[in-house]
Structure 1
Amino acid sequence: MKLHLVTDGRHSAAELVKIITDIHTSADAIHIREKNKSAGELISLIEELHQNGVPKSKLVMNDRVDAAVLSGLHQVQLPSHSFNVKLVKQRFPHLEVGCSVHTAAEAVYCAENGADRLLFGHVFQTSSKNGLEARGISKLAEIAESVSIPVIAIGGINPAVIPDLRDIKIEGAAVMSYVFSAEHPSHAALELADQLKRGMGH
């Protein structure tokens, strides 16, 4: 299973460069999800990561299609409140577009309108969604069965819960807090990558 890491919006650009440079070899994709940074800040962040040896092919820009296009990235992730996936695919056919979904209906809609992958969550209880009930494994399985495009699980994922994901037809897991709040992000990322690759039948 693939490992997607998602930034948490709590770090300065300099801290992000250091963390992502340390962890990118463990991850299949790194989502730049920085709601408080301007387009200009995002573009210079991407440039700095690139200069530090982080391949642009691994970077996914959350929401900011403009910053993705101007940075030469080929992947974007659209939150449910963001642009319509069909419009983005029409305007920028070269972009790989992921959509964040919370229901089977949203999943089917996005898949039918050209999404390349879905992020579904939050699957497990997570401190970043305090008080919101987790959507759970059975819902994740239902989403994965309802579409033919890859599905990535997000929300409360740590090494202990990865075995619960193994029997579900998903492409991988996306992780924010476990890595970006860790004392040693590179250790946390490695641990997750090992767990995801262990005992996988596919």
Structure 2
Amino acid sequence: MTVLELHIISDGQNNLDRFTEIAQNIHPYITAFHLREPRRNACELWQVVQAMLARGVPANKLMINDRIDVAWAAKLQGAQLSYRSLNVRDARAAFPGLRLGCSVHEHEEALLAEGQGADFLLYGHVFETASKPGQQPRGISALEQIAGSVKIPVIAIGGIYPDRVHEVVAAGAAGVAVLSGVTQAADPLVAVKKYAEALNKARRQ
């Protein structure tokens, strides 16, 4: 059976010392941690990465959003690209060997990213979420359309809690990405175990 992925994403606002501590405790259950920190420069991101590595978080579970140079220099799993990044084709040519994800919000974007060589897509937001106030969620039907139209994994994001994991996996998602559901939980380890259990259950069904 295919292993479903669980990605944890920093929100660009919280204390990264806290994020590092959480990552140290929960990394055995995680596919990838994304440092999504648009306000941080390369030097600051490098320092965060080194702190995470020093606390035992595996390099092959770390991804940097947008800053492919930092991911490459630190020999991490890869980078997550968006509209503000290099396109996937150019990133692949310049930084071979990195796992490259691409954030998409529409069907056409998904097809383009796959055509350019993305390894996976991050699609959302699927459900209503506090991180996107006032923005209409795209919903399960749109996720199903995206997942059914590409051959690469689609990771669903946005308002996904453990009780919704089965629904997004049934729609074709290859995993879920989470922000506050873990990083702002009273006990992040307990929270991440609930996600892992939900993903394992969905995989078996």
TM above 0.5: yes
Q: Counterpart amino acid of 2:78?
A: Q
Q: Counterpart amino acid of 1:92?
A: F
CA deviations over 1:152-180 (Å, ceiling 9, x no partner):
00001111211212322221000111111
Q: Find the aligned partners of 1:71 and 1:93 in 2 and give their Cα distance.
A: 14
Distance apart, 1:29 and its partner CA: 1.1
Q: Give the 5 Å matches for 1:24-173.
A: 24-173=27-176
Sequence identity (%): 41
Alignment pair present for 1:175 and 2:178: yes
Distance apart, 1:81 and its partner CA: 2.7
Distance apart, 1:90 and its partner CA: 0.8
Q: Find the aligned partners of 1:21 and 1:106 in 2 and give their Cα distance.
A: 34
One of 173, 185, 188 as aligned partner of 2:188: 185
Distance apart, 1:132 and its partner CA: 0.5
What RMSD over aligned residues (CA atoms) do the two structures have, in Å? 1.3
More deviation, 69-78/102-111 = 69-78
- Match of 1:200, SS state, is helix
Q: Find the aligned partners of 1:118 and 1:35 in 2 and give their Cα distance.
A: 19
Distance apart, 1:53 and its partner CA: 0.9
Runs ≥4 residues deviating over 3 A: none
Distance apart, 1:192 and its partner CA: 0.8
Q: Find the aligned partners of 1:138 and 1:2 in 2 and give their Cα distance.
A: 20
CA deviations over 1:12-38 (Å, ceiling 9, x no partner):
232222111112112111111112222
Q: Counterpart amino acid of 1:75?
A: G
CA contact (8 A) 1:8 1:180 kept: no
- Match of 1:31, SS state, is strand
CA contact (8 A) 1:31 1:59 kept: yes
CA deviations over 1:73-101 (Å, ceiling 9, x no partner):
13100023321111000111111110000
Alignment pair present for 1:10 and 2:34: no
| TM-score under structure 2 length normalisation | 0.94
Q: Counterpart amino acid of 1:20?
A: A
CA contact (8 A) 2:169 2:175 kept: no
- Match of 1:17, SS state, is helix
Aligned length: 202
Distance apart, 1:133 and its partner CA: 0.6
CA contact (8 A) 2:12 2:36 kept: yes
CA deviations over 1:44-95 (Å, ceiling 9, x no partner):
1111111111100011111111111121213100023321111000111111
| TM-score under structure 1 length normalisation | 0.95
More deviation, 61-70/7-16 = 7-16
Q: Find the aligned partners of 2:165 and 2:73 in 1 and give their Cα distance.
A: 36
Distance apart, 1:148 and its partner CA: 0.7
Question: CA 1:199–1:106 in 2, change beyond 3 Å: closer, same or farther?
Answer: closer
